[in-house]
Structure 1
């Protein structure tokens, strides 16, 4: 992209990522339906856990935290896309755009952190079942979660900090919402430095969290091998929900963030599709996975709908 010599004062951005969509209304309705279902499902999960004292345990606190992360993640961009596609309002003010970028990246980082901590939780539950509640108490779980939120906010603050002092030569965002690369492309600066910096940071966090999850499951497999058949079945059931959630999140992230850096070329529509799938898919899948595979939550839902 050639750089302009004349900068402009940007008070609002134009979202141009959906210009090539032939049926914007249909796409917008689909995104709206998925967003509403995922949002309500996560809210229900949170309410079940908060109001049932029997579920005030480390694992459910982490599930509740993941639901909060999912709500933030999907709510950061979905309303803007729905407004653009259905109402045809394709502008967003400068400050709300930066806030949206911060919220979206915070949700992405917290999703990785949350899944890594939940893998550690499963490892403790499998390797130290009799001392699990003494090692990972509710208080320690809450403190750990709070520390992760603070750390994620600190890391994500890099994005608006690098953008806010740059001058802009364009006002059109080529992506579907206020993503960091989209805003950087509107500046008068050479985007490669910023792209490489953020790509390196994202790669490190993806590699660290995913490696931690893999190592946790290697350790879990070791403990499963030396366990009885009944324990193996229980361990497998305990970990399957988390594995489904991890797969749902990391697959589009790997394609978008890693394979593209290795030379895989994606069109604008393909990239937008992967991004939208990465923050609409997990918040929709996660609450249903935990509702259907967690005995206590499934029992409460069954009891709620069969209560006369």
Structure 2
């Protein structure tokens, strides 16, 4: 097939994580379980924060935004993968691939920005506690999230438009379970030099810049914690950062491992496997990391389920189920 314009390409083939047919049911069940846990866990965090007035603070506002982004991030890749396994198809059409790539890039960059904003929030809370509510006012919090969305959308749109200018040949197999930007660019028959320059420069700026900001924030935080005289005060201050620091380590550790390791020529399939860590596993673990160590979230969830239990609609449904059960028992 002769190289053609990108708009003439009808479809790509997603090779997935494994070609073995006997492993497909296992992969389907595993990823379906992780996806449902991710959506349910992050949704509970959002409901707990929005329904409890005690959690209407900057820290939990950013946490609820992180949970929303994690749901969207996972939803851009896993449902299509599950659908392909279920239908025994590897096809994704050209428009669908570009769309998936756009939203994947959008939420990956946005996840990066939200984690950076959360680090800044912890820096202000611990290093400038007396001015915390003045600095982290609702207007600034909303502006930080809005700017994060706008910058992520622009970066993602720029990458997508640059891919649209590429031409592709007959080899349209993507050794991944979704349309990852780097993998799609490498399939191009036309010159992809500008795409590679843009991809690596934006990865350096949007990955290295926020990471440097996070590391700087935590260097100041650790310095302030060391200055606290009491051991109890040190523990309390550090415990407010432990969850966020765990999520940052997990996200950056896995994503940097994937992209640094992908420079090897033989690592295309292995990078698809390791990318599961930051695209699926990390969003799934975030609710556990934040809820298991956070008494405020636990109490908010208890109050939420308590109100849900006392909801008239739930009570009526429970009464009807019990009545139906009594009617069925004599018939058995």
Same fold by TM-score, threshold 0.5 exceeded? yes
Q: 1:102 Cα deviation (Å)?
A: 0.7
Q: 1:43 Cα deviation (Å)?
A: 0.8
Q: 1:134 Cα deviation (Å)?
A: 1.1
What is the DSSP-based 3-state SS (H/G/I as helix, E as strand, rest coil) of the residue aligned with 1:98? Answer: helix
| Equivalences for residues 51-70 of structure 1 within 5 A | 51-70=51-70
Q: 1:130 Cα deviation (Å)?
A: 2.0
Please give the alpha-carbon distance, in whole angstroms, between the structure 2 residues aligned to 1:130 and 1:19.
Answer: 54
Q: 1:86 Cα deviation (Å)?
A: 3.0
Please give the alpha-carbon distance, in whole angstroms, between the structure 1 residues aligned to 2:196 and 2:277.
Answer: 21
What is the DSSP-based 3-state SS (H/G/I as helix, E as strand, rest coil) of the residue aligned with 1:267? Answer: helix
1:134 aligns with 2:134: yes
Q: 1:301 Cα deviation (Å)?
A: 2.6
- Aligned residue number for residue 7 of structure 1: 4
- Aligned residue number for residue 319 of structure 2: none
- Aligned residue number for residue 277 of structure 2: 277
Please give the alpha-carbon distance, in whole angstroms, between the structure 1 residues aligned to 2:25 and 2:197.
Answer: 35
What is the DSSP-based 3-state SS (H/G/I as helix, E as strand, rest coil) of the residue aligned with 1:100? Answer: helix
- Aligned residue number for residue 181 of structure 1: 182
Q: 1:41 Cα deviation (Å)?
A: 0.7
1:147 aligns with 2:147: yes
Q: 1:63 Cα deviation (Å)?
A: 0.2
- Aligned residue number for residue 202 of structure 1: 203
- Aligned residue number for residue 213 of structure 2: 212
| TM-score computed with the length of structure 2 as normaliser | 0.85
Deviates more, 1:98-107 or 1:265-274: 265-274
- Aligned residue number for residue 221 of structure 1: 222
| TM-score computed with the length of structure 1 as normaliser | 0.91
- Aligned residue number for residue 323 of structure 2: none
* Number of equivalences: 303
What is the DSSP-based 3-state SS (H/G/I as helix, E as strand, rest coil) of the residue aligned with 2:12? Answer: strand
Q: CA RMSD in A?
A: 2.1
Unaligned 5+ segments in structure 1 are none
Please give the alpha-carbon distance, in whole angstroms, between the structure 2 residues aligned to 1:166 and 1:187.
Answer: 6
Which has a greater percent of helix?
2
Deviates more, 1:58-67 or 1:19-28: 19-28
Deviation readout 1:194-250 (Å, 9 max, x if unpaired): 334312321222211111111101000111111122221111110100111011101
Deviates more, 1:181-190 or 1:109-118: 181-190
Please give the alpha-carbon distance, in whole angstroms, between the structure 2 residues aligned to 1:56 and 1:86.
Answer: 42
Please give the alpha-carbon distance, in whole angstroms, between the structure 2 residues aligned to 1:301 and 1:203.
Answer: 39
| Structure ID, larger Rg | 2
- Aligned residue number for residue 79 of structure 1: 79
Please give the alpha-carbon distance, in whole angstroms, between the structure 2 residues aligned to 1:106 and 1:21.
Answer: 32
Unaligned 5+ segments in structure 2 are 311-332
CA contact (8 A) 2:3 2:167 kept: no
